[in-house]
Amino acid sequence: MAAQNPARETVALMEPMMPPEGEKRLEDLAIDLSLQASALAGRVHPVVQQSIGTLVRSMNCYYSNLIEGHDTHPRDIDRALSKKYAKEPQRRALQLEAVAHIEVQALIDDKKDNRSDPVSSQYILWLHREFCGRLPEELLWIVNPDTHQKVNLRPGELRDGEVAVGIHIPPSAAVLPDFLRRFEQAYSSMHLSKLRRIIGVGAAHHRLLWIHPFYDGNGRVARLMSYSTLQRLGIGSSLWSVARGLARNVNQYKELLMAADGGRRNDFDGRGNLSQSALTEFCEFFLQVSLDQVKFMESLLEPSELLRRMEIFTEEEVRAGRLLRGSYPILREALLTGEVGRGQARQLTGHQERMGRMVLSRLLEKGLLTSGGVKDPVRLGFPIDVVERWFPKLYPTT
């Protein structure tokens, strides 16, 4: 692949950075997303949100990997989180990759990430370093499709060579810092209203992929950056993830990304080098997918329906002898109040002390309840065995 001439690569090649002002469809979607996300957060007790966040991180990782063509089964992810890795090298590597993604998202959820603006070069490099720094050695080598040479992926470092992404030729390595500075300037919270920032999450998502600052890992970094930006805007939360929607519409996702790589279509297509209408279409898609995922999780977390699914599951488990009678009242209380003291939990079973203790112990053993210590309150757990029963369609069924 012939390298571009850095002297001719000005940041103007990346313009426009945003859809035009006054796009009512985008503004309506952004407002609706903000309202629906706030309503979703208000439905779930904060303590339960933390537990669901653990589940959503695994889901987000699964779908983000799926977009990259890495189909790591949810049970393999669950085993990896318990340090139970496959013996087969490739499968084990994918498990480690999944854990890396989950650990970085946990840092974001727990506000232990780099606290600079998610669109800053500092934050983008931090994301890449944290993710790739957790990968096994075999995943840190990639093959350049043009030269067929192996390239070492250095965590948190910009690429030092040229790449092609399909027919798109990203900026040369020499000018990457210039493009990232323009990127930060365009999408920084200092320069945009909240409404424009919500609309701009999709634009930033595309433009970072267009810059392609790293040899590999750009897709995951872009999705984690988008996730973090939505969190900072008070819209994103540990209760939902756009990655599921992007993966379930992966062909449209990739087609719209590619279309937004294209040049200005005609005299009515903005004033920049790239197509403004294609960027607007991608932003609309991104907002709609985000809104769809919020609504999907809202349907799963609607208290009466979730409690109904939990009750049916518990009754079946009791009949099968895997749980003891009196289990459901504890699970119901944990969902509604977040945490349940152990003494109260035993009373909720309707049994005497000894039997109540046995019911509680069985729920803890099955992972349906978790606790920080033997005397600490209990809270809901979401083991992989109950996910499809309590949260149908969270993962593909095929």
Count of other CB atoms within 10 angstroms of residue 257? 22
User: Using one digit for the tens of pLDDT, what is the confidence trace for 344-376?
Assistant: 999 999 999 999 999 999 999 999 999 999 899
**pLDDT of 61:** 94
**pLDDT of 71:** 87
- The CA distance from 381 to 398, in Å, is 25
Q: What is the DSSP letter of 148?
A: -
- The first and second tokens of residue 392, run together, are 């149908």
- The first and second tokens of residue 38, run together, are 């706030």
The structure tokens 């019911």 sit at: 359
**Percent of the chain topping pLDDT 70:** 97
Averaged pLDDT for residues 17-42: 95
**pLDDT of 7:** 54
- The CA distance from 235 to 201, in Å, is 11
- The first and second tokens of residue 151, run together, are 């390239």
- The CA distance from 193 to 207, in Å, is 19
User: Using one digit for the tens of pLDDT, what is the confidence trace for 255-265?
Assistant: 999 999 999 99
Q: What is the DSSP code string of 346-377?
A: HHHTTS-HHHHHHHHHHHHHTTSEEESSTTS-
**pLDDT of 389:** 94
Count of other CB atoms within 10 angstroms of residue 306? 18
- The first and second tokens of residue 253, run together, are 């996702």
- The CA distance from 192 to 271, in Å, is 20
Single pTM value for the model: 0.93
- For residue 230, the Cα-to-chain-centroid distance in whole angstroms is 10
**Does domain 15-301 fall into CATH 1.10.3290.10?**
yes
Q: What is the CATH number of domain 303-390?
A: 1.10.10.10
- The CA distance from 213 to 217, in Å, is 9
User: Using one digit for the tens of pLDDT, what is the confidence trace for 270-303?
Assistant: 899 999 999 999 999 999 999 999 999 999 999 8
The answer to whether 301 touches 39, Cβ cutoff 8 Å, is no
**Percent of the chain topping pLDDT 90:** 84
Averaged pLDDT for residues 103-118: 93
> Domain residues of the chain, as ranges?
15-301, 303-390
The structure tokens 């099968």 sit at: 320
Query: In the predicted model, what is the mean pLDDT of the chain?
Result: 93
